[in-house]
Amino acid sequence: MTGVGIILSILAFSLLIVSHEFGHFIVAKKCGVYVEEFSIGFGPSLISWKGEETRYSIKLIPFGGSCAMLGEDESMADERAFTSKNVFQRMAILFAGPLFNFILAFILSIIVIGAMGVDEPVLSEVMEGYPAQEAGMQAGDRITKLNDENIHVYRDVSLYIALHQGENLDVVYERDGQKYETVIVPKYSEEYQSYMMGIVVNGTRTRLGVLGTLKYSAFEVGYWIRYTFTSLKMLIRGRVGLQDMSGPVGMVSSMTDMVKESSQDGLFYIFINLANICILLSANLGVMNLLPIPALDGGRLLFCLIELVRGKPVDQEKEAAVHTVGILLLFALMFVIMFKDIWQIFG
Categorize the per-residue pLDDT at 325 as very low, low, confident or very high, splitting at 50, 70 and 90. confident
pLDDT at 192 over 90: no
> pLDDT tens digits, residue range 7-45?
777 788 888 889 999 999 999 999 999 999 999 888 888
pLDDT at 150 over 70: yes
pLDDT at 344 over 70: no
pLDDT for 87 equals 94
> pLDDT tens digits, residue range 234-261?
777 766 555 555 656 666 667 677 777 7
Which residue in the list 21, 72, 120, 220 is annotated as catalytic? 21
pLDDT-wise least confident of 42-46, 72-76, 273-277, 281-285 = 72-76
Share of the chain above pLDDT 90, in %: 39
In terms of pLDDT, which residue wins out, 203 or 112?
A: 112
> pLDDT tens digits, residue range 80-138?
999 899 999 999 999 999 999 999 999 999 999 999 998 888 999 999 889 999 999 99
CA 216 vs CA 55, 151, 163, 223: distances in Å: 39, 11, 23, 10
> pLDDT tens digits, residue range 153-181?
888 888 888 777 778 899 999 999 899 99
How many CB atoms sit inside 10 A of residue 176's CB?
6
Instruction: Please state, rounded to an integer, the average pLDDT across all residues of the chain.
Output: 85
Does 181 participate in catalysis according to the annotation?
no
pLDDT at 335 over 60: yes
Instruction: Give 125-200's CATH code, choosing from 2.30.42.10, 3.40.50.300, 3.40.50.980, 3.40.640.10.
Output: 2.30.42.10
pLDDT for 158 equals 82
pLDDT-wise least confident of 76-90, 275-289, 310-324 = 310-324
In terms of pLDDT, which residue wins out, 76 or 47?
A: 47
pLDDT for 341 equals 62
Residue ranges of the chain assigned to CATH 2.30.42.10:
125-200
